């Protein structure tokens, strides 16, 4: 069932997403504005958090974050996702201005249940890329085209992007957005995520050095 639409709900350019509504979101670091969007083609709901004036044309400190329920909400140590989410929000709060897009693309786009299947394969010896491929998926199936209507809605065209993933930068620039600076978002390794992080660097091109 699609979400209830408030009076301010509107389709964004391209008709790929619909802006629903916004509200305050108090967090331990700052009170952000939380913006909700609906994707009719998939039934997914995507979010953006903003702080300060982000639509003034100046580059915006930003993070494009893909949903990771196990890391973001269940404190999994198998990845760096939850720690990256918290670090990005804290850095935006320290700056007093910025934006974080929260895209519902679990497991690099394969979905939560398939990600758990992939974890089972990793328990048996596969790495994160091999596990996705054994399940019949590409290593990374995320769609960054979703970013364009959201960022346009927020008035953002230039980003100081917190990411270790050069493919994410290339995808945004292909959409006509400008990434003026890449800021590393490196998380301390542990015995559970060490192979995962090494694989992301070796097979997905992630930049894991300061």
Starting from the edge strand earliest in sequence, which strands make up the sheet with 18-26, in order? 10-11, 18-26, 31-39, 44-51, 98-103, 60-66, 158-162, 178-183
Whether the predicted pLDDT of 17 surpasses 50 = yes
In 94-185, beta strands by DSSP E = 98-103, 158-162, 178-183
Which three-class secondary structure state does DSSP give residue 170? helix
With bands split at pLDDT 50, 70 and 90, how would you rate the model's confidence at 205? confident
Among 197, 190, 161, which residue's Cα sits nearest to residue 59?
161
Residues designated as active site: 140, 142
Distance CA(166)–CA(25), nearest Å, equals 30
Tell me the C-alpha distance between 154 and 147, whole Å.
Answer: 11
Assess whether pLDDT exceeds 70 at residue 210. no
For 207, residues 6+ apart whose C-beta sits below 8 A from its C-beta are: 164, 165, 166, 182, 184, 201
Where residue 13 falls among pLDDT bands split at 50, 70, 90? low
Are the C-beta atoms of residues 35 and 50 closer than 8 Å to each other? yes
The overall pTM is greater than 0.75 = yes
pLDDT tier, 3 (very low <50, low <70, confident <90, very high otherwise): low
Instruction: Give the pLDDT of residue 7.
Output: 45
pLDDT on residue 4:
52
Ordered by where they begin, the domains of the chain are: 10-105+142-204 (3.40.50.10990)
pLDDT tens digits along 22-63? 999 999 999 999 999 999 989 999 999 999 999 999 999 999
Among 120, 98, 95, 116, CA closest to 107: 116
Higher local confidence (pLDDT), 51 or 186: 51
What pLDDT does 30 receive? Answer: 98
């Amino acid at each position: 069932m699609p979400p209830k639409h408030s009076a301010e709900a509107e389709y964004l350019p391209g008709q790929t997403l619909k802006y629903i509504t916004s509200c305050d979101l108090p967090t331990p670091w700052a009170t952000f504005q939380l913006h909700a969007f609906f994707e009719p083609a998939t039934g997914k709901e995507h979010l953006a958090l903003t702080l300060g004036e982000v639509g003034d044309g100046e580059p915006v400190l930003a993070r494009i974050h893909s949903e990771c329920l196990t890391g973001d909400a269940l404190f999994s140590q198998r990845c760096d996702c939850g720690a990256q989410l918290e670090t990005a929000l804290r850095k935006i709060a320290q700056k007093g201005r910025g934006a974080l897009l929260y895209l519902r693309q679990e497991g690099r786009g394969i979905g939560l249940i398939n990600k758990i299947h992939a974890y089972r394969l990793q328990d048996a010896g596969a790495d994160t890329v091999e596990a996705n491929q054994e399940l019949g998926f590409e290593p990374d199936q995320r769609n960054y085209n979703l970013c364009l209507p959201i960022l346009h809605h927020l008035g953002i065209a230039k980003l100081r992007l917190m990411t270790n993933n050069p493919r994410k930068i290339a995808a945004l620039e292909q959409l006509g957005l400008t990434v003026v600076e890449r800021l590393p978002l490196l998380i301390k390794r542990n015995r559970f995520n060490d192979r995962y992080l090494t694989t992301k660097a070796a097979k997905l091109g992630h930049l894991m050095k300061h």
